[in-house]
Structure formats: structure tokens, C-alpha cells
Amino acid sequence: RWMCLQEKPRVVADIAHNEAGIQEVVQSLARYSYKQLHIVFGAVQDKEVSKVLALLPQDAHYYACAPNLPRALAVEQLLEKIEFSGRRGERFNSVQSAYNKAVQQASADDFVLVCGSNFVVAEVLESMVSITEAEKAGRIELKQTDVVINMPQIVWPEGKMIVKEDK
């Protein structure tokens, strides 16, 4: 379940979405040292989000998002629960935008955790797989540049997308 997606900053995705799973995640987090914890968090409506949030670190910065499915907990409701629990966070319109912002904001010594729902983790992983497949098929080209950034980016005439470099 504990999937390391990137180093510097360390990015981990875990499908923990209930109290037992989050307790395991918190135990695993305790084994690491980091400056700031960034948590990309989304949930579905039938989960006891307040109980899960109560187990997660108070001093983390939360990136509230909703997975793309009908039974997702609305991001506005999720952010209310995050703030009501005494935590600080911000809302995002998609899992990918929350993930991108968390990784952009994180310094090399920080930790980014993606959790709260199987569907949130799946959306992050699906995006990464799509980019890798597009590169292999020749639809995009990843180029190394002299610009130092926190993580690789794909740039094309209409915009850019942040991606994880697969080593």
C-alpha cells in the first residue's frame, strides 16, 4: 500500500481511507524526518472523514480534492471538515491539480502524502501512467533542460503538465 512515487521531495501514495489504514500510515510517517508534511486528501461520501482526519497530523498542510466519481465527498464539505478539525488546507477542483500544487509547494526536505481514498490514489497513478505511455508511443518528448525545478515538466505550445521522472 505504501507506494513511494518520488524522492526529494518524498512523495508517497497510500490507499488508506479508514481509521485502521490511517493509523498504519501515521506509524509509517513516524519513521521519516521531514520539514513539512503536505497531504493530498479526498474521500467518498460513505466514509467517516472526521474520524480519519483526527488521526492525521495537525500541522500538515492539506490539499482537499474530490475523486472524479458520483459518490465523491464534495470538496467544499471536505475542506469544512479539515478546517473544523483545526487543520489548515485549501480546495482544488481535481485530484491532479491538488497533487501538482502539493509537489510544487514542497521543498526537497518535505514529505507529500496522497491518501483518503482508493480513487484519489488511482487518479494520481493513472496520470503518471498516461504520461509514460505517451512518451513511449512518441506522442510527447521528455527533454532534460538546464532549468532547475522541483520536478520534471512536459511543455507543449498550449501549456504544460507536471510529471514524475521515472528512474
* C-alpha cell of residue 1: 500500500
**Which tops the pLDDT comparison, 141 or 107?**
107
pLDDT at site 73? 96
pLDDT at site 133? 67
Report CA-CA distances (Å) from 5 to 10, 33, 46, 77, 111. 8, 17, 28, 28, 11
**In this structure, how many other beta carbons lie within 10 angstroms of the beta carbon of residue 96?**
18
Does position 129 have pLDDT exceeding 60, yes or no? yes
Hey, which residues does 91 pair with through a beta bridge?
A: 64
Which residue blocks in the chain are alpha helix, DSSP H?
19-29, 49-55, 75-84, 95-105, 118-136
28-50 pLDDT tens trace: 999 999 999 999 999 999 889 99
pLDDT at site 136? 75
pLDDT at site 151? 47
pLDDT at site 128? 72
DSSP-derived 3-state class of residue 14:
coil
Give backbone dihedrals phi and psi of 61, rounded to 5 degrees, phi first. -100, 130
**Which tops the pLDDT comparison, 39 or 157?**
39
Task: Tell whether omega for the bond before 9 is within 30 degrees of 0, i.e. cis.
Answer: yes
56-109 pLDDT tens trace: 999 999 999 999 999 999 999 999 999 999 999 999 999 999 999 999 999 999
pLDDT at site 138? 73
Best CA proximity match to 71, nearest among 99, 42, 29:
42
